[in-house]
């Protein structure tokens, strides 16, 4: 298939495919007249790249998965290098979750403090609170 068809089937643009080619992630096969040509294996590579990017992996982090597929493995994550990327990404996500949790706790404390201050400053006393919309966290 030609580049336009591959881009359409992968849900991306021809510009993106050329970029992947320049980065060495997509093979650069050409016909005699210079047209790029691709096959179903290339579509698998693109699907792997796009899925990982949707999960927050940067383009370079997809390389071990692509290389694993190119080596003939049925899945891009069955090679040791791919597993190492998964482990690093999980560590990164755990750290981000910890940071988000700490920020959330700080915001909750600030909200509680601000609500108490607002109630104390209200001229007619505290306003009635609607508990239906309050979140359990």
Q: Which residues have a Cβ under 8 Å from the Cβ of 34 and sit 6 or more positions away?
A: none
CATH code of residue 115: 1.10.1660.10
| Domain annotation covers residue 130 | no
Q: Which residues have a Cβ under 8 Å from the Cβ of 41 and sit 6 or more positions away?
A: 69
Domain count, the chain: 1
| Domain annotation covers residue 23 | yes
| Domain annotation covers residue 129 | no
| Domain annotation covers residue 9 | yes
| Domain annotation covers residue 136 | no
Rounded Cα distance, 137 and 118, in Å = 21
Is the whole-model pTM more than 0.85? no
Query: pLDDT of 56-73, one tens digit each?
Result: 999 999 999 999 999 999
| Domain annotation covers residue 132 | no
| Domain annotation covers residue 40 | yes
pLDDT at 121 (0 to 100): 85
pLDDT at 16 (0 to 100): 95
| Domain annotation covers residue 14 | yes
Residue ranges in the chain whose pLDDT is less than 50: none
Query: pLDDT of 36-46, one tens digit each?
Result: 999 999 999 99
Q: Which residue range(s) make up the domain with 31?
A: 3-120
């Amino acid at each position: 298939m030609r580049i336009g068809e591959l881009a359409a089937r992968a849900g991306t643009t021809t510009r993106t495919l050329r970029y992947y080619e320049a980065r060495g992630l997509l093979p650069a096969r050409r016909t005699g007249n210079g047209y790029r040509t691709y096959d179903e294996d290339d579509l698998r590579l693109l699907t792997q790249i796009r899925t990982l990017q949707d999960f927050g992996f940067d383009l370079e982090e997809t390389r071990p998965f692509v290389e694993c597929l190119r080596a003939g493995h049925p899945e891009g994550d069955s090679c040791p290098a791919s597993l190492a990327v998964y482990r690093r990404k999980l560590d990164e996500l755990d750290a981000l979750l910890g940071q988000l949790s700490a920020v959330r706790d700080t915001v909750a404390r600030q909200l509680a403090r601000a609500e108490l201050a607002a109630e104390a400053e209200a001229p007619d006393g505290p306003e009635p609170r609607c508990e239906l919309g309050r979140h359990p966290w």
